[in-house]
Amino acid sequence: MSIEERVSSLQEKHASLDQNLMDESSRPMPDSVAIKSIKREKLNIKDEIERLKL
């Protein structure tokens, strides 16, 4: 897998997690632990994307 493909894959996963975060946040009783976990994973993916772009 090339770097560009990896970045693209990570961007897709980041977008998917963003949708999951919005879905969880819009629930009547959002799970704060799940929200925190999703945010942490999104941040890790964002950091990896930035490292790969260097």
Over its length of 54 residues, how does the chain's per-residue pLDDT go in tens digits?
Answer: 899 999 999 999 999 999 999 999 999 999 999 999 999 999 999 999 999 988
pLDDT, residue 54, reads 85
Q: Does the model's pTM come out above 0.85?
A: yes
Q: Where are the domains of the chain?
A: 3-53
Per-residue burial over 30-50, b = 16 or more CB atoms within 10 Å of its CB, e = otherwise: eeeeeeeebeeebeebeeebe
Angle subtended by helix axes 32-53 and 3-25, to nearest 10? 160
